[in-house]
Structure formats: structure tokens, C-alpha cells
Structure 1
Amino acid sequence: MRKNKFNNFPENFLWGGAIAASQADGAFDIGGKQPNTSDVQPYLKGLSNQEIQQLEKQGMTLKQVTKNLNDTSSYYPKRYGIDFYHTFESDLELLAEMGFRTFRTSIDWSRIFPNGTETEPNEVALDYYDRLIDKMLSLNIEPIITMLHYETPINVTLNYGGWQNKQVIDMFERYGKTLLERFGNKVKYWIVINQINMIQVEPFLSLAICSDQYENMEQAEYQAVHNQLVASAKIRKYAKKLPFDLEIGTMVADGTVYPYSCKPDDVILAMKHNRMQYLFTDVQFNGVYPQYAKNYFTENDISINITPDEISLLKENTMDYLAISYYFSQMVNSDIDSEKPESTSSNPNLIENAWGWNIDPQGLYNTLSQYADRYHKPIIIAENGFGAYDEIVDGKIHDDYRIDYLSKHIEQIGRAIYDGVEVIAFCAWGPIDIVSCSSQQMSKRYGFIYVDIDDEGNGTKKRIKKDSFNWYKEVIHTNGANI
């Protein structure tokens, strides 16, 4: 441990962690649940990390989805997760032992409304989430609940064409209202849609759109995310009518970039790239589509169906707070990169992890500062963590690399708070090992707690405390003074 030179965390700061139902719960065939977008992603054995990530960016075809739904020979890790559905009580007790003050997880849409089209919710699923939230509260853990974290019912993809279809807005609104009515007296903090800006990086998971469903995919993607923005505003509008203390937030994955050099072309490309990353939060906090976005749509032959009622709805129902995920920083080089979100270059000044992510603690300070200066809203760090291959040595896991990564990032959060940024929570990603979203691997581990399951689902499921477990316990105990 070392002293934090930016020890500025408020007394009521919410220290904790975050997972997603789609990566942890398992129990894919229990309680009336039907498949969602995450359930059709197989583990791609034998491929490199880079090959897996490239396939993720390409998305999935309708043929692949249909095939995978009926496939009995491949392993689908997210259908099983870490069996959190059955182990949540003991797992939450381990988190409480670290002193967790908050825990972020998601509710699986495909449990509550298994096909998305039902008019009445699944009571078995609602009862499960009642028990999960009640357990958190009994341990003095503040729930932060995400309504959608890559769990769109697969029926929405197959029979409605994903979020591009405006009918999905009404389906999701019914789902969101159900959650607020059922759990609004227990849950204050809600994130409507996880990483709403991932439309071109993870189009299938984010928008439930297959890569061959539309001739103009970019138009379909921006129409789909517009529909998500409208659905979010509808839920925000409804929340204001309820007699609960509710905070409705939006979430983005940090996709802002540095210029490769001080060459004007690099600086301008970075500026344009960043503006298109701010598009989502500009709409959700300012209530209007900015002119730069309208220009981009015109220049790229993108025509979005936006009604006058939707324009008013967005303007009148902006979000209460911003949640961000941050793992690494990115850079653009005007000689080889474009304005597209996925078009970035590796930074030669930074070290990469095994998945090609540039490790950059100061990048978190930078992005927190930029978002705070732009919107003046409270911020939750909804995800931050270090994926690595952990080894068990004499029954122990010595993960100094994870401690080093997190301590440096926590210090930069304190630096931002010193500058006046209102950060209210820190949720370390994957405090207990879960299936990787991008690679379907268990071996890409983030947790303070090791789960004995391998990439093909073998193992005892035993939980083992890593060295980082006691480290994070001390961080929370000292409210960030010792890191």
C-alpha cells in the first residue's frame, strides 16, 4: 500500500464493483428465461485475442445467430456465467467483507419479458431480483442497477430487426416501467442502457442488429441508437411521476482520443472524433442533436426518422447523471485513421495489455475532466479494471499487476475530485471473475475473487481471494487514503 497524494474522496463516496447479468448469472434455461443477444456467442477456441476482437467488431449474421441457437456442440459461456443466479448470497457476502458500499449489476430483460413482446412480466424473475436487491440492502450495499447490459431478447433481433425498429421503444418502455414500479422503493440509482455509444464497436450486443440485416448498416445503427435515446427519455419521464427518490443516468464507454501529434490534421481529426463520441451525451444532457452530428449524417447519407414528439421528449427529459467505463486511452493519426469510432491507432508512449489496450491512468483524469467541464453533472465510474491471466501458486493468486493498475487509476480520480469533478462512486469492473464480454473468456480475469472455471466451463466454481482482495478492503476502509 502507499499513500494517495490526491486523497480527496468525500465521506459518503460509494466504493464498490460492477458485473452484468449476461456475464455472471448463468441459469439460461431456468425460470422462464429465453435467449438474449449474449446467449448466442460461442467461445472461439484456438483464436488469438486480436482475432476474437476483430470478429466481435464484425458482429454476427442472421445465419450465425440461427445456427447458434440450435447448436449443441459448441460452448456458450454466457449461458452459464459463474452461476451467480444461485450463488449471489455468498458472493455478495464476500463483497461485503471487503466493505463494499455499492454494487452495480444488471437486470436481464429476457428474464422479465422473455421475448420482449409479452404484456405481463415474469413473476418468477421479478421475485429473483427482489431477493438479489434485498440481499444487497441487508449488507448495506447501495444497488446501482442497469436496465440493459447486452441482454436484448433474441426474438427482438430475429422478428423485429433489433433496435432499429421503433416498436422496440414501446417494448423497452414497458420493461423499464415495470422495473421502476417494482424496485423503485429499493433502488435509487438506475443506468438505462449500458455503454450507449458502442454502436459501431459492438453493434450486435449493443443494438441487437445482425451485420447483414440492413443495406445501410451505419444508418441502421444510428437509427437504432436514436430509438434507445428516445426509450431512455421515456423512462426518465416516467420516473419523475413516481413517489420514489430516483436518479436516472446514462452510460458511455470512454471513446475519446488524443491526437497523434501537434500536426493540425491530427488535432482536427481528434476533435471531430471526440465530438462524435460526445454526440450521445450531448443529446441526453442538452436535449438536442448538435449541428456537427446533423452534418455528419448528411455527409454520410444517413437519414434518421425523428418525429417532432421525439424532439420534444428528448429536450424535456435529460438525464440526472453520467456513468462511464474507462479501461484504456486511444489515439488517432490523420495519415491512417478516419472519423469512425473504431478507427484508432496504438499509442507508442504507452504499454499494452494482452488484448492490445493502452494502459493510461492519466487518461481517466483527462476524460473525467472533459466530461465534467462539458456537462457539470455527477459522475459514476461504472467500470474500471484490469483483465489479466491469473495463476494460482500454492493456492494463492498474487495479482500485483491489478493492484498497480487500480491504485494508479484511483489516484487520478482523486486528482479529478480535487479539481472539482463530482465523482460519487467507483465500481471496479468484475470484482469477482466473470465471463469476458468481448472475448467470451473466463481466463481474462478482472476480479478480486478468483472463480475456478476455465474457458470451456470446466472447474469447481470455488471462490478464492486474490491478493487484491485485502488491498481493496484497505482502500475502502481508508476511503481512498491508502492505495
Structure 2
Amino acid sequence: TVARERDDFHYGNFPEGFKWSVSTSAYQIEGGWNADGKGESIWDTFSHTPGKIANNETGDVACDSYHKVKEDVNLVKMLGVQQYRFSISWSRIFPDGTTSYVNQAGVDYYNSLIDSLLKIGVEPVVTLYHWDLPQALEDIGGLLNETVVDRFNEYADFCFKTFGNRIKFWITFNEPYVITWLGYGIGVFAPGINSSPGEAPYQAAHNIIKAHAKAYRTYEKFYKGKQGGIGMTMSTEWAEPKDPNNPSDVEAADRFLQSILGWFAHPIFKNGDYPEVVKKQVNERRTQSRLPVFTDAEKVEIAGTADFFAINGYTSRLEPIPGAIQATPDWLQIVPWGMRRLLNWLDREYGHPTIYITENGVGTSDATVDDQIRVNFYKAYINEALKAQQLDGVDLRGYTAWSLMDNFEWNSGYGPRFGLFEVDFNDAMRPRTPKRSSIYYNQLIRNNGFPLLQRDERITGDFPLNFIWATATSSYQVQHYIEGGWNEDGKGLGIWDVTSHTPGLISVRYKYLYVACDSYHKFDVDIELLSSMGVSHYRFSLSWPRILPSGNRTTINHAGIAYYHALIDGLLAAGIEPMVTLYHWDLPNALQEEFGGWVSPDIQDLFVEYVDICFKEFGPKVKRWITFNEPWVFTVLGYADGVHSPNIKDPGRSEYQAGKNMLLAHAKAYRLYEAQYKAVQNGEVGITCNSDWSEPRNQYRQVDYDATNRVMQFFLGWFMHPIWVNGDYPDVMKEYVAKRSAAQGEASSRLPELTAQEKSLIFGTADFFGLNHYTTNLAYETFSPDRINEHNSLQIKIYVIGSSWLRPVPYGIRRLLNYIKAEFGDRPIWISENGFEDNPIYDDYKRIFYYKSHLNEVLKAIKLDNVDVRGYCAWSLMDNFEWASGFTPKFGIYYVDFE
């Protein structure tokens, strides 16, 4: 069940009283490094040392929060959080780290911050140590000197006494693993010690644990009954075993977690001592153990010194991480499901503790307020936390986003931007600007999670009487056979035969590359499958080179014609109506070689010759024809990007010429049927275009709405606007290509004009609107649909973060159907392809979800929106050859064993 749910989105709400929070730390935001009597910290010293920080940047000013308490509190208020986690700078209160002198200005600063938060109804969550040890203490050994235990306790006691009447949550140390290993092991963080990485980190950790325990016992004795709770914030990456069925991999993953997290959590939450696996691992590396030993009395004092489990989690660890998305900084890979697994591990390892996520977030490499990646990150990670709480029973009480604003990111300087609010570090006033993620986080908080939207609610009801239910294939993807199907019985070479026989053009080479599904010899088996499904229609395509091997009438392959007659007759005998596509991308190679295929006007009349034969031969038995399947794909991917056959890379020119010739070929074929066959055969002719649904990436920016319109017009309007609206291309497309052409020094637009005669020929040449739809995208300002430059990816999915191009966004199909009605008129629509790639052989539950949810949205479009949808065709009948991707993607309702 957990495996099934891993990538599913879960709707639901967190429990009442769940704490939403946001966080910062003193050195990263305060600035005022030596203001009003503050003492120097190890990070002041470290950042002032050339070469230690990227670009030699420092936290001297940072976000200038020392002078901007009101502004920061206003940001917190805007988010709507219940808590704000910040840290106190030890050296701002005790300049030399000891109680010999109290800096009242520092005390006043934190009093002002705390009182301001309480005034707006936000609980302060205070971290006592977020890495900025007073330099005076470091000068006498810092965390390696055991006297730091008493000094920290004195500092903590002062804070409890001074601020504790208003603080209900205390955190002693933030991420002790980072402090010890990065600061005292490899020396890339302050204080930059790397002279004894085999000993210093363990001694520093030993003193941190004892300092934490002593402060906890002080709090427990004098303050707990009157104040609140106290704990330590630990950190780890989730460790996923490479092979969960291999015990050694599982042990390695557990050892990783124990070495980073258990090092500190095991003493506190279990028995006052280090995990056995850590002791064994450290002791085996040297004859004399480098791991200090706790006395029995210390173990007693340490065990149980936490009122909650605070965890910072950002990423997961496995080489490689399947499905991970690289983010900023480099160590952070986006693996949302790792959060759920980590929370479950904590729950089981430490006896069902109360858990707070005290940091979680993602950085971006540039300053931007349009931070879609952060929106996606929070949506995905928080949803996994919700699963842990609701589905798995983890006692999760709160979530804290890192961070309130862009800040000083330690040795990376001001490069990574983690903030919900942008900070302009080039402006002395350090202005703050809300990012899109701040709006989204506020929405999450107001909803207390992810309530099921009315948009996604299911309806019940029946589809219209005589609604067409179908499934589909295409000729090249299913017919070929290694012993002759691809060139058997007189069939000519198609362009995809050439592409698939050319090494390097298909993503993976297979020994069964030329076999496909062998439907040329197994169409009777295919018909049995169709009958068992109960479909009313079967959409398939004719292979032009199987009927006309050279592409023209000089040679007619009667064996090919006989094959299609046999297929059609078999379907009709089974009570299944054929719906035939005339061109599904397999152009005769002879025409590609002779004059360049679709870039030449000569192709138009040759296509009409071919369809004339088809109408004459099969028309008495075929009542629904599709001239072209997905012209956007075969023009753009075939003649611009070169990733589909015929593998021509000429962006900005060839695809526009190919598109014009395709439109005119379609129009001529339609007019031929209209003039010579329609009255007798009583059939319908249309065209199928593919279109994702697109929405603005940032719904608050007009430029993204403009980009969305461009995307839809270049996807769908390019071909459907001439046919359904006025015979010409959309104005947006004409203006955009003309503008780009002029900017590139072209004398005229690269989009060829349509004459008045051609417009008249094209307009009205469809009896139905054929639509192939799979997924939904977010469009954005810099999207450039004119392909003279490299095409900007617009595959930014809005379901969950993942690596596949196809993510289920069910409501997208309803919105697209409504768009078609509004843009092109109330047309009869035939959904000629819709489906999902899923790899399980039998238990394809994701595909079931995809069909169920998308069909429900289609039903809504029909019943609630009065869109005239006449039929639905599932792609595809069986697994097949998926073009440049080979046989890896599995779209079939039936599994095919290609071995």
C-alpha cells in the first residue's frame, strides 16, 4: 500500500492545533555584527577571513534585521503562521560568552522582537545556539573545551529567566551534526578546524550533548512547570537502501541514519549513550577509540532530555536517486517521498515521539519572486508530511518553512536563495518583496493542508446515448515484423523504417526493434482483444508506404490493400466500427528523399492521390476519417528539432513550411471527399491535433497569461484556427513570428502567408474536432514558441514534482474542452487519444486512476458545461513502439511481451 501511495497526491487537512511556522537564524539575518556592544562570534571571524566564504561575502549586514524588527514581524504576519522560529545570538547578550557582562542592548532587541510577535498572535520559538559561538569561548577551545558545558548552561539559564515567561518552545542546539562535522571535521564552516577530523568532531559532539542535557535539567527544575517545552533540533538526509531486499543495503542505510541522526538522538531519546552501530563503526577504525565515553551518571542525566523531536529535513541520499530533481544548492535533491519515510523511521526508532519539522525548504540560484520550484517543493514535501500524519499515524504537530527571507547562507554567501521573501542585498535598505511561494504558503496555512477542491470532486451520471468508446493504435507502432512485416508483401520504406534502422536515432536499441506488436500477422488476435473490451470503435492508421510503396500511383501494393480490407471486415463482423487515420507520421521515404517530404508543395497532391485510393477502397465501410494525426508533433519534432523522423533540424523555417503544406493537403483531401464521396458514403472527415492544457505559471503576472495564450495558439491554434475560425493562422502567431523574424534580420516573416484562395480552401474543412490530450503545463513569460532558438521547456508540471513528462492533471482536460468551445465554437469533439504511461505488467493502478479521473472530467464537461463531446479513445490498445523512445514507455491497456 505504501508503495502504491508513494507518488500519489493525498487530499486532507492537518489536525486542529497544527503549528505552521517559518524560521531564520541570528547570524544569517541580523547584521549589526558589532553594533551596540555585541561581541564577535566565530562566524564573524570566519567570514572576515579571505577565501572562506563565496565571493568573500560576510554577514556583517545580512538582512539588517537588527534594525528591522517591525518589517520582519510584518512579513511573519503576512504569512499567517502560528509560530516564528528564530535564534538568539549568544555574543549579542554575553559579548565574551560568560555572564561577567550582560549587553542590555541585545536583551532589549530580543525583548522587542518577542513582544512584537506576541502582539500579532504569533508564538516565538527560540533556538539558543544556531552555530554562532562567541569567539572569546572559541579562543579557549570552544566546543572542544568541556567548560563550554557550564558556559552554555549559564547562557541558557539567563534566557529562560529573561524571556521564558513569553516563550513556550525552546531549542538548545540546531543541527549538531553540521556543527561538529563541518565546523570541526572538514572545517568548511566556522570555526574552520580540520586538524584532527578523526577526533575533534566526536569531542565537540560529546560536549554539545552534555551541554544540552545540563540546560534541559536546569529548565526542567526551575522553569518547565511555568513555561513550556524544550528539545534539540537534529538533521539528517533520508537514506534509501539501493536494494530494499538486500539486507546489507538496508543495514548501510540504517548505519547512515544512526551516524548522522542517531549520534545525537539515541543518547537523548533512548539510553543516554551512543548507538551501538556508531560505537562499533568508530572503534573499528582505530585501535584506541576516538569516541568519548559517557559516565553512568552522565547517561542518566542525558536520557530523556527532550519534550519533542525536532527535525530538519531537506533531501534524500542514494546514488543515484531515482526520480530526484537537482535543486540549489548542489547537495539538495528534491525527493519528496523521503520526508514521509524519514518521519516514519523516527516514529518507529524512537517510540512514537511528538515530532515537529523545524526546517524544510529549497533554494534557487537567482533572485526571483516567481519561484515556482519552491511552490512545487512545499506542495510535494508538505503533502508527504500529511501522509505520514494521516495515513501512517506519525504524531506530527508542526511544520516550519526555511526560510522567512533570503539570507546569508553560510559559506555559500548570498548565492542560494531560500526565502519566502526576496531581499535585495544590493540595496542598502535591504527591501523585502513577497515571492509567489509566500502566497502559496499562506494559502496552505489558511486551508490547514490540502482540502479536496470542488474542482476535483467526482460526479456521477451516464455519458450520452451512442457515445463512442474506442481505443487506438497506429500502423508503424504495431504492425512490423522482423521476418518481413516492415518490408513484407511489397510494402515500401517509410521514414520511420529509415530512422529506426539508423543507429543512435532511437533511445534504446532492442533485438526486437523491427518486430513491434506484429499486428500485420495478428490482427485477428487484436480484434479479439477489442471485442473483450467492449469498445464500439477502433481507431487505427493506414501505412501510406504499405499501400503506395513509392508514395505515388506508379505502384499500388494490393497486398497492403487486402490487409486493411481484412482488418476492417474483421472489425465490422465483431460489431466494431473502424475509425481510420490516413497519416500517422509514416511518410513514404521515397517522397522524403525526392523533394524533402512535407517542406515541398508537391506533397499536397501526392497526399490527395493516396487518400483518393483509400476513400475509394475502404470508404464504403469506413464512416469516420482523420486526415492527420498531431501535425504539431511531426512538423516541429520532425522538421525543427530533429528528434522525430525525418530527423531534420531546421528550427524556425521547415516546420512552418511543413505546417502550411499539411493544412493545404488536409483541405484538398476534405474537399475531395466532400465532392466525390460524402453523399454516397455518408461519412465524416476531420483532423486530430494534440494539445496539452496550459495555465499561467504565476497567476498574478499578466506576462504569464500572455505566454499561456501563445502556448495554446502555437499548439492548437496553428492548425485549428485556419480550419474552424477564418482560414488563417491566429493573429498572435502571425505577429509573434513576424516580430521575431524582423529582429533576426529577415526580410519577411518565416511563417508563410496563406493566400485568399488558400484560406477559402482551408476554412470549414472538418466535420469534427479531433483532440489528443495527455497532460497540463505551466506557461511563463520567457517561453519562446518560435523555434528559431532552442525551445524553452514548458514541461513544468503542476501535479507533483517528478521526472516524467506526463503527470496526471485531470482537471486540465475539462478546461481544455471548454477552451476549445470558447475559442473555436460549439463543435462536435472527438477525444481521439488520452492515456498514461505506466510500467507494471498487470497491476497498472496509476493508469486506472488516470482513466477514471480524466473520464470524470470529460463527463463534467458534457453534463455541467454543455461541451459537445461525442467520443473517447484510450491510448493505446497495447504496448507498442513509442517512436524515438523505443519500447520503454508502456501505454498499453494490454501488455505485450516483446521478448
| Matched letter for residue 324 of structure 1 | I
Residue 250 of structure 1 aligns with an amino acid whose one-letter code is M
Q: 1:209 to 1:446 in 2, by over 3 A?
A: closer
Aligned with 1:79: secondary structure?
Answer: coil
CA deviation after TM superposition for structure 1 residue 90, in Å: 1.7
Counterparts of 1:98 and 1:5, CA distance in 2: 23
In 2: Cα distance, 1:363 partner to 1:459 partner: 40
What is the aligned partner in structure 1 of residue 306 from structure 2? 319
- Which one is further off, 294-303 or 146-155? 294-303
Match of 2:42 in 1: 37
Aligned pairs for 1:217-366 within 5 A: 217-243=197-223, 244-261=226-243, 262-277=245-260, 278-289=262-273, 290-300=275-285, 301-304=289-292, 306-315=294-303, 317-331=304-318, 345-356=319-330, 357-366=332-341
- Indicate yes or no: 2:386 matched with 1:414: yes
What are the equivalent positions in structure 2 for 1:29-68 lying under 5 Å apart? Answer: 29-42=34-47
Q: Does 1:22 align with 2:10?
A: no
Which of 80, 88, 97 pairs up with 1:107?
88
| Secondary structure, counterpart of 1:369 in structure 2 | helix
C-alpha spacing 1:276/1:391, structure 2 compared with 1 (3 Å): closer
Task: Spell out the pairing of 1:368-447 with structure 2 (5 A cutoff).
Answer: 368-375=343-350, 376-392=352-368, 397-418=369-390, 419-441=392-414, 443-447=415-419
Residues 180-232 of structure 1, C-alpha deviations (whole Å, 9 max, x = no match): 111111001011000122255422589965425x5x43222111111111111
1:136 match: 117
Aligned in 2, Cα 1:472/1:256: closer, same or farther, shift over 3 Å? Answer: closer
* Matches of 1:207 and 1:353, distance apart in 2: 21
Q: Give the distance between the partners of 1:313 and 1:127, measured in 2 at CA.
A: 33
User: Does the 8 Å contact 2:316/2:333 carry over to 1?
Assistant: yes
Q: One-letter code of the match for 1:17? A: V
Where 2:85 maps in the other structure, the secondary structure is: strand
Aligned 8 A contact 1:4 1:481 in 2: no
Measure the CA separation in 2 of the matches of 1:302 and 1:434. Answer: 36
Closer/same/farther in 2, CA of residues 308 and 29 from structure 1, 3 Å limit: same
Once residues 110 and 6 of structure 1 are traced to their aligned partners in structure 2, the CA distance between those partners, rounded to angstroms, is 46
Q: Are the structure 2 counterparts of residues 32 and 302 from structure 1 closer, same or farther at C-alpha, using a change threshold of 3 Å? A: same
1:303, 1:329 → 2: CA distance?
A: 27
- Residue pair 1:250, 1:284 contacting (<8 A) in 2 also: no
SS in 1 for 2:208: helix
Q: Structure 1 residue 465: deviation in Å?
A: 1.4
List gaps (5 residues or longer) in structure 2. Answer: 1-7, 453-899
Distance verdict in 2 for CA 1:473–1:256, change over 3 Å: closer
- 1 CA distance for matches of 2:383 and 2:172? 28
Q: Secondary structure at the match of 2:69?
A: helix
* Distance change in 2, residues 1:481/1:354 (3 Å): closer
**Is the 1:325–1:384 Cα contact (8 Å) retained in structure 2?**
yes
User: 1:147 matched to which residue of 2?
Assistant: 128
Cα deviations by residue, 1:10-65 (Å, 9 ceiling, x for unpaired): 121111200000100000111211221222344xxxxxxxxxxxxxxxxxxxxx96
What is the distance in 2 between the residues matched to 1:378 and 1:255?
A: 20
Corresponding residue for 1:469? 438
Aligned to 1:481: 450
Q: Deviations over 1:331-369 (max 9, x none)?
A: 2xxxxxxxxxxxxx4425412114222111110001011
TM-superposed deviation, 1:255: 3.0
CA distance, structure 2, for counterparts of residue 144 and residue 18 of structure 1: 9
Q: Secondary structure at the match of 2:338?
A: helix
Partner-residue secondary structure (3-state), 1:382: strand
Whether 1:12 aligns to 2:50 is: no
Q: Residues of 1 paired with 2:11 and 2:125: CA distance?
A: 26
SS in structure 2 opposite 1:150? coil
Give the deviation of 1:390 after TM superposition: 4.1
Aligned length: 431
Q: Residue 440 and residue 400 in structure 1: after superposition, are their counterparts in 2 closer, same or farther (change >3 A)?
A: same
The amino acid across from 2:113 in the alignment is L
Structure 1: which amino acid aligns with 2:278?
A
Of 65, 90, 101, the match for 1:84 = 65
Out of 91, 97, 115, which is 2:78 matched to?
97
Query: How many Å separate the matches in 1 of 2:9 and 2:279?
Result: 44
Question: AA paired with 1:425?
Answer: G
Given candidates 158, 169, 173, the residue that maps to 2:149 is 169
In structure 1, the partner of 2:823 is none
> What secondary structure, in the 3-state scheme, does the structure 1 residue paired with 2:198 have?
helix
CA-based RMSD? 2.5
Quote the Cα distance in structure 2 between the aligned partners of 1:176 and 1:313: 17
User: Relative to structure 1, is the Cα distance of residues 464 and 189 closer, same or farther in structure 2, using a 3 angstrom cutoff?
Assistant: same
- Contact 1:188/1:245, CA 8 A, preserved across alignment: yes
- Structure 1 pair 162–68 and aligned structure 2 pair: CA distance change class (3 A): farther
- Aligned CA distance change for structure 1 residues 5 and 266 (closer, same or farther; 3 Å): closer
Distance 1:5 1:305, change over 3 A: closer
Query: Hey, what's the Cα distance between the residues in 2 that align with 1:207 and 1:358?
Result: 21
Normalised by the length of structure 2, the TM-score is 0.46
The one-letter amino acid of 1:15's match is: W
Q: Distance in 1 between matches of 2:227 and 2:9?
A: 33
Report the TM-score when normalising by structure 1.
0.83
Distance 1:354 1:106 in 2: 24
Tell me: CA distance 1:147–1:449, structure 2 relative to 1, closer, same or farther (3 Å). Answer: same
- Alpha-carbon shift at residue 447 of structure 1 (Å): 1.8
Q: How far is 1:294 from its partner? A: 2.8
Q: Which has the higher contact order (CA 8 A, sep 6+)?
A: 1
Question: What secondary structure, in the 3-state scheme, does the structure 2 residue paired with 1:323 have?
Answer: strand
Letter in 1 for 2:157: K
- CA–CA separation in structure 2 for the residues paired with 1:267 and 1:5: 28
- Confirm or deny that 1:123 pairs with 2:115: no
Kindly provide the amino acid, as one letter, of the partner of residue 406 in structure 2.
Answer: D
Q: Which residue of 2 aligns with 1:187?
A: 167
Higher mean displacement: 264-273 or 7-16: 264-273
> Judging changes above 3 Å, is the alpha-carbon distance between structure 1 residues 403 and 208 closer, same or farther for their aligned structure 2 residues?
closer
Shift of the 233–83 alpha-carbon distance from structure 1 to 2, 3 Å rule, reads: same
Conserved 8 A contact 1:162-1:208? no
Quickly say closer, same or farther: Cα 1:206–1:174, change in 2 above 3 A: farther
Q: Aligned with 2:221: secondary structure?
A: coil
Q: Which has the larger displacement, 240-249 or 12-21?
A: 240-249
CA distance in 2, matches of 1:8, 1:220: 45
Once the two structures are superposed, residues 270-314 of structure 1 have per-residue CA deviations (whole angstroms, 9 ceiling, x without a partner) of: 222222232210111113213333323422331415344323311
Contact map agreement 2:339 2:384 (CA 8 A) in 1? yes
* Equivalent AA in structure 2 for residue 155 of structure 1: A
Unaligned 5+ segments in structure 1 are 43-63, 332-344
